[in-house]
Amino acid sequence: MNGPDPSRPCLTPESPPHSRGRSCPPSDQLGNSSSSSATTPATDLDSAVQDNIFAQAPSETSSRPLPIPAANALRHLPSPPLAREACDGGARPWPQRNCCDGRPAACNHRAVSDVCASLPEKSFARHFLTSSGTFPSAAEILKKAAFFNSGNRPHDALLLCNAGLEVYAEDADLWNCKGVTLRALGRLQEALDCCREALRLDPGNTNALNNIGVALKERGELLQAVEHYRASLVANPHQPTCRTNLAVALTDLGTKLKQEKKLQAALVCYTEALTADPTYAPCYYNLGVIHAETDDPHTALQMYREATRLNPSYVEAYNNMGAVCKNLGKLEDAISFYEKALACNANYQMSLSNMAVALTDLGTQQKASEGAKKAISLYKKALIYNPYYSDAYYNLGVAYADLHKFDKALVNYQLAVAFNPRCAEAYNNMGVIHKDRENTDQATVYYNKALEINPDFSQTLNNLGVLYTCTGKIGEALHFAKRAIEVNPNYAEAYNNLGVLYRDQGDIEDSVKAYDKCLLLDPNSPNAFHN
């Protein structure tokens, strides 16, 4: 055969399908949507799209609903009930209250004494109730119980609430305080019962309405929780805690609806959430997730930006902005957002993975314009963020092969298959290097491994045909050349190699047809034109 060898195998270049530079998926991301039960970023966080890893909404890492302690904004409390109790053979009212401070007089009444005596002897509650010689007012008991709750001493608070309710059985705020305390102890149903009793005694009790909403939300009854938060705001439109809790519950409800593919209903919930609390960052985050998933990337970016304005440490939002920019082909912008995410949390795995993907893609992009050396520096930087990223090793192998540094290329191809045993392209390219070094046995091993992973890998089929041509196994060579054309009818190089095989067999007519087909597909093919 005259002229250049028409059957020279070609290295598989790193192409978009072979560049394993995909970002990880989005929490409730996309991230996905964030749910308010997480910290400030949902998965849906409880809220991160899917070619790139979006953050899922942190459970979104939004804030937990806040119970309103019973000691907040105490109203004028009712006088102690005039309940009567059999004592010494007769019914007596509770002791008269001191006119100066509203407390009952000395604890000399049998019923009051029994309340105190029922408490553990060395308990703080008993000491508080008996230390002054007079039984405290409901307001004082409420204040002390709230103090115990704030100090993570719910058992002491519960003792006080129970003692207080023995005396002030009709006090709505004490019932509400007991509900808050029981919730802190994990006794959710009892907490609900107490708050509902408070509401029965005082139907407009904002704190009780809010705290019922908190307990219902913890039980996953989001619709009922939202109803109670709304009622709480009707009773007191200026209560910020209720506004935030309503925004949290509506955001979580929106995330739930989004997961059920009810996007319009989810948008309604998010919109109402922002009406309740325009500063609630996870709601903007989840709106960003919805717009990203419905192919509205520019609105998604606006929502994510607002989320990060309200919460400058919102790592999931920065990650998702990076993912959106990468999908738009703006790799440098994507890298900038991933850097911001990692500045907030240097160990955030989703952004570490996405950064490695973006840097690898940027290396592949810049390799065409700035050469292999520039690409190598970016691939190595990608591996700083994710040392297990197979595509970065694979593309490093391609770049080193372009620079004729074949030993380094082989090392990186080996690392690529170590971290991704299904990287058929790396096995193919190792086969090419060994074939060029006339190590045909090793080349055959690698080509066969590539075909085990992808039996329709046309480049490997063609390269095996070339290898068998070089070793004189014409029958095997014909089989693989035809298979390459079968799986990829537009593979010009395979037609050229088939023409060589027909020519070597003396079948000039079929040989010319194969060369003509090659030139039809690739008019600039020098081998087919020469042959």
Q: What would the pLDDT profile of 425-456 be if each residue is shown by its tens digit?
A: 999 999 999 999 999 999 999 999 999 999 99
DSSP character at residue 104: B
Whole-prediction pTM: 0.74
Question: CA 57 → CA 103, 271, 352, 412, distances in Å?
Answer: 51, 17, 17, 36
**HSE (side-chain half, CA atoms, 13 Å) at 510:** 12
Greatest distance between any 2 Cα atoms in the chain? 128
Distance CA 459, CA 457 (A): 6
Question: CA 93 → CA 147, 167, 191, 346, 402, distances in Å?
Answer: 30, 11, 30, 66, 99
Q: Looking at 39-153, which runs of residues are DSSP E strands? A: 85-87, 90-92
Report the topology of domain 432-530. 1.25.40
Distance CA 429, CA 401 (A): 9
Q: Are the C-beta atoms of residues 367 and 392 closer than 8 Å to each other?
A: no
Phi and psi at residue 456, to the nearest 5°? -105, 25
DSSP character at residue 55: P
Distance CA 262, CA 130 (A): 58
Distance CA 379, CA 363 (A): 6
The domain ranges of the chain are: 432-530
Counting as low any pLDDT under 70, the low residues of the chain are 1-118, 121-122, 126, 132-133, 525-531
Q: Are the C-beta atoms of residues 477 and 468 closer than 8 Å to each other?
A: yes
Name beta bridge partners: 97: 104
Which position has the token pair 């799986």?
487
Q: DSSP labels for 278-325?
A: TT-HHHHHHHHHHHHHTT-HHHHHHHHHHHHHH-TT-HHHHHHHHHHH
Contacts of residue 382, Cβ cutoff 8 Å, sequence gap at least 6: 355, 356, 357, 359, 360, 363, 389, 392
Q: Are the C-beta atoms of residues 31 and 8 closer than 8 Å to each other?
A: no
Which amino acid is located at 48 in the chain? A
Q: Are the C-beta atoms of residues 316 and 283 closer than 8 Å to each other?
A: no
> What's the burial of 147, exposed, middle or buried (CB within 10 Å: 0-12/13-18/19+)?
middle
- Give residue 380's pLDDT: 98
Distance CA 161, CA 176 (A): 10
Distance CA 28, CA 308 (A): 17
State both tokens at 371. Answer: 């050469």
Which amino acid is located at 43 in the chain? T
CA neighbor of 164 nearest in space, from 102, 94, 115, 101: 115
3-state helix, strand, coil in the chain (%, to 5): 65, 5, 35
Distance CA 5, CA 52 (A): 43
Contacts of residue 211, Cβ cutoff 8 Å, sequence gap at least 6: 67, 68, 176, 179, 180, 183, 191, 195
State both tokens at 90. Answer: 């007769």
Rounded CA Rg of the chain:
37
Question: CA 166 → CA 77, 83, 163, 182, distances in Å?
Answer: 16, 10, 5, 17
Secondary structure class of 145 (helix, strand, coil): helix
DSSP character at residue 95: P
Question: CA 397 → CA 16, 82, 379, 528, distances in Å?
Answer: 16, 89, 10, 29
Per-residue pLDDT of 262-305, as tens digits, reads 999 999 999 999 999 999 999 999 999 999 999 999 999 999 99
- Give residue 51's pLDDT: 35
Q: DSSP labels for 400-413?
A: HHHTT-HHHHHHHH
The size of the chain, in residues, is 531
Which amino acid is located at 380 in the chain? K
Contacts of residue 310, Cβ cutoff 8 Å, sequence gap at least 6: 279, 280, 281, 284
Q: Are the C-beta atoms of residues 510 and 503 closer than 8 Å to each other?
A: no
CA neighbor of 137 nearest in space, from 179, 95, 108: 95
